[in-house]
Amino acid sequence: MLQNLPRATRALLLANVGVYLLQLLLGDAFTERFALWPLGPYFAPWQVVTYAFLHGSVPHIFLNMLAVYMFGATLERFFGTSRYLAFYFASVLAAAGAQLVVTHATGSIYPTVGASGAVFGLLLAFALYFPRERIMLIFPPIPMPAWLFVTLYGIFELVLGVTQTQADIAHFAHLGGMLGGALVILFWRMQGTPPRRGF
């Protein structure tokens, strides 16, 4: 199955799973060093990237990697590997930036982990470039076009973030990932260089 995936998507899946296994092996000290801490004594610059390869549980990494598998492969074939990776990590960095702003504003002392910011960037790109593709929800099992699914999901995340519902989830990091992806696409369009296969 993995051998049929484009190379960057395959590498991201393997890297995330490999790092999660290291988390299980090395324990909290490893996770705490590479998680994204709020600005302060525990923050380090590398964390704005490394946090996206860490996960808090098996369901957490499973759902994120399922999304990378489902949407990332299609987008890598569409964008080409170089642009796909640029897009992915722009979403990671934008999600980190949004989370740092929010944790600073709220005085949060907790670190952030997970590839969800990148995943939300991928979701946005998929909805923009493949808006009529049908996405089947797990619960409830209702198919809907990608543009509607992503629009509703984005609104849902915004509501949860503003109301501080599920406060242990970084809702604004998710939205930051979408914003980062949107800015990359806007930049490409302003350049007049739309994604091309094999770039």
Per-residue pLDDT tens for 28-63? 999 999 999 999 999 999 999 999 999 999 999 998
Number of structural domains found in the chain:
1
Asked if residues 119 and 13 have their Cβ atoms less than 8 Å apart, the reply is no
Q: What is the pLDDT of residue 199?
A: 37
Asked if residues 93 and 118 have their Cβ atoms less than 8 Å apart, the reply is no
In this prediction, residue 4 has a pLDDT band, given cuts at 50, 70 and 90, of confident
Range of the domain at 170: 2-11+57-108+115-191
Domain membership flag for residue 44 = no
CA–CA gap between residue 93 and residue 96 (Å, rounded): 5
Q: Which residues pair with 36 in a beta bridge?
A: 112
Domain membership flag for residue 42 = no
* Tokens at 26, concatenated: 């090395």
Domain membership flag for residue 176 = yes
pLDDT at 198 over 50: no
Asked if residues 67 and 153 have their Cβ atoms less than 8 Å apart, the reply is no
Mean pLDDT over the full length of the chain? 87
Which among 42, 180, 38 is positioned nearest to 117, based on CA atoms?
Answer: 180
* Amino acid in the structure at residue 19: V
pLDDT at 196 over 60: no
Domain membership flag for residue 16 = no
Domain membership flag for residue 142 = yes
Which among 47, 56, 67 is positioned nearest to 28, based on CA atoms?
Answer: 56
Domain membership flag for residue 45 = no
Domain membership flag for residue 51 = no
Domain membership flag for residue 157 = yes
Q: Indicate the SS3 state at residue 135.
A: strand
CA–CA gap between residue 19 and residue 87 (Å, rounded): 21
DSSP at 139: S
CA–CA gap between residue 40 and residue 18 (Å, rounded): 29
Record the pTM: 0.89
Between 130 and 157, whose confidence is greater? 130
CA 135 to chain centroid, in Å, comes to 18
DSSP at 143: E
CA–CA gap between residue 178 and residue 124 (Å, rounded): 6
Those residues whose C-beta lies under 8 Å from the C-beta of residue 177, and which sit 6 or more positions away, are 91, 92, 94, 95, 98, 116, 117, 118, 119, 120, 121, 124
